[in-house]
Amino acid sequence: MDDSSENYITTTLDHLIGWCRKYSLYPYPFVTACCGMEYMSVSCAHYDTDRFGAALPRFTPRQSDVLWVVGTISQKQAPVLKLVYEQLAEPKWVLCCGACACSGGFYDNYATVAGIDTIIPVDVYIPGCPPRPETILDGLLKLQRDIHRAKQSII
């Protein structure tokens, strides 16, 4: 057999695992406010997150690896959010969507958390009030890029 007719694919294990994880995200939507409408529109046919490998939301954190925090987080919700984060499957990532989740938004009071990064680590911030669907998709693409480039650990 002629060697030139065979096809070879060479890559590193890190690159291959990163590519697989990048296109097999299972989001858990933690939706609390008006930004939820924009999040829902991203899942519809016009924007279609399925083409990015992130369309099938799970409604239990144990089956998810991406936490979408969408909307205002109050001080009463903070322990629940932390518990949900701790229950996510490893490796796990967090997308913070909307001005209220990112920084507290226009709420400047004792009842609202001024940025969820005081509770859990955040990988990608998606600004806006509410954020446009294109901005949400851009945040998803940035998360996928970071996942692909990261050093992969096999758990």
Average pLDDT, the chain: 85
* Assigned domain for 4 exists: no
Residue with tokens 């399925």: 50
* pTM summary value: 0.83
* Assigned domain for 36 exists: yes
Residue with tokens 């990163």: 18
pLDDT at 126 (0 to 100): 92
DSSP SS3 for 67: strand
pLDDT of 4 strictly over 70: no
Q: Is the peptide bond before 133 cis (omega within 30 degrees of 0)?
A: no
CATH number of the domain encompassing residue 61: 3.40.50.12280
In the chain, the number of structural domains is 1
Question: Rounded to the nearest 10 degrees, what angle do helices 35-43 and 133-149 cross at?
Answer: 70
pLDDT of 1 strictly over 60: no
pLDDT at 20 (0 to 100): 82
- The residue that leads in pLDDT, 30 or 23, is 30
* Assigned domain for 109 exists: yes
* Assigned domain for 19 exists: no
pLDDT at 53 (0 to 100): 74
Rounding to the nearest 10 degrees, give the CA dihedral for residues 71, 72, 76, 79: 50
pLDDT above 70: percentage of residues in the chain = 92
C-beta separation of 14 from 152 below 8 A: yes
- The residue that leads in pLDDT, 69 or 44, is 69
C-beta separation of 112 from 100 below 8 A: yes
pLDDT at 56 (0 to 100): 78
Q: Give me the mean pLDDT over the 43-69 stretch.
A: 82
pLDDT at 155 (0 to 100): 61
* Assigned domain for 126 exists: yes
* Assigned domain for 3 exists: no
pLDDT at 49 (0 to 100): 77
Least Cα distance to 120 among 13, 21, 14, 30 occurs for 30
Q: How far is CA 62 from the centre of its chain?
A: 15
* Assigned domain for 131 exists: yes
Full residue range of the structural domain in which residue 118 is found:
28-148
- Report the C-alpha gap between 110 and 65 in whole angstroms: 31
φ/ψ bin of 58: left (φ > 0), alpha (ψ from -120 to 50), beta (otherwise): beta
pLDDT of 27 strictly over 80: yes
pLDDT of 48 strictly over 80: no
